[in-house]
Structure 1
Amino acid sequence: MNTLKAILLAGFAGCCLAGAGQAQEPADLDDLEIAHVAYVADNIDIRYAHLALAISDNPDIRTFAETMIRDHMAVNEQALALLAKLGAEAKDNFLSQSLLENADKLVDEMSGLRGAAFDKRYAENELAYHQAVNDLVENSFIPNIENADVKALFEAGLAIFKVHQGHAETMVGTLQ
């Protein structure tokens, strides 16, 4: 599991190879780029959850996946409403693209697993993913968000996603 977290964190760090004139570090992203990363990260976790519902028969995994879909969709709806209120549109960026690329690879990998092997991999990924994303949001995004409404949404989302991290940690422990 620590290896998985290291891979995700390395992926975030490795994203910093963007072209000239674009943000090259997560902390350099503007509010609209940060909003895009968050929207993409939420959609990725929703995708993982749908995969879990399609593959797993484990009631704990299924309940967790349903929670991920519900909570991440709710946060995304709030984010889209806020963007509409601000008359703004989220901006694609290097980090969003890297997250999508890594997610595609992971979905391909997990799609080939079944039973306890899938459940364990899904739970470990959820823990590592929430640890990495929560760290990024708390330590890079929130301190650099300029708009007070956007910052408040990220702070509220982080509180929810830290609960997800705790549930994922419990799930990993149960599956060991």
Structure 2
Amino acid sequence: MKTSAVILASALLLGAGASLAQGNTTATTPTDPQIAHIVVTANQIDIDAGKVAESKASSKDVKAFAKQMVTDHTGVNKQASELVKKLKVTPEDNPTSRNLKAGGDDMQKQLKGMKETDFDKAYIDNEVTFHQTVLDSIDKTLLPNAKNDELKNLITKTRPAIAAHLEHAKQLQASLNK
């Protein structure tokens, strides 16, 4: 499972950060429509993982966390969808969102195939890695490159919830490792 979390984290960081590393900021810096697609894709990955965890986790705390992930990330996607409609912007598929989707699909397959005894720890380990990676991407790529103030405000407003999810996941991780 660690491999899947690392793949997913790498997809987000490398895809979102590659534009800056290449030094060709005009051709590869994510645009607002691309950033919107990255936001929706990242949220959907956590919604999908949470749904699997709601049905497969053995710990009531892990199930509750998963339910919170589904609720919170669904809410963010609803806000993002409303914003792009208001702005008349179509989220644009891009290498980062495609890499995220592929990593999320791989993670889903691994989670669904796990035995219940191994599931809780693997799911929470992934959630720690995923939320840390999302925070890094928000700070290093999404916020610095977002041009539209409303999109930037949505990302900024969402950041504390992502940080809270990370801390909650770390607490669960510590309790599962005892």
TM-score, normalising length: structure 1: 0.88
Partner of 2:54: 53
The structure richer in helix per residue is: 2
Superposition deviation, residue 113 in structure 1:
1.2
Partner of 2:150: 149
Partner of 1:115: 116
Aligned length: 170
1:172 aligns with 2:173: yes
1: distance between equivalents of 2:52 and 2:58?
A: 12
Gaps of 5+ in 2: 20-25
- Say which SS state the counterpart of residue 58 (structure 2) adopts: coil
- Say which SS state the counterpart of residue 63 (structure 1) adopts: helix
Q: 1:156 to 1:125 in 2, by over 3 A?
A: same
- Say which SS state the counterpart of residue 90 (structure 1) adopts: coil
1: distance between equivalents of 2:110 and 2:3?
A: 16
Partner of 1:138: 139
1: distance between equivalents of 2:2 and 2:115?
A: 22
Q: Once the two structures are aligned, what percentage of the paired residues are identical?
A: 31
Bigger drift between 32-41 and 53-62 goes to 53-62
Bigger drift between 40-49 and 4-13 goes to 4-13
Deviations 1:17-73 (A, max 9, x none): 9xxxx954xxx1001100100101100100000010121121011100110011001
Give the ranges of 4+ consecutive aligned residues of structure 1 lying more than 2 Å apart after TM superposition. Answer: 1-17
2: distance between equivalents of 1:6 and 1:54?
A: 24
Superposition deviation, residue 9 in structure 1:
3.8
2: distance between equivalents of 1:153 and 1:99?
A: 20
Gaps of 5+ in 1: none
TM-score, normalising length: structure 2: 0.87
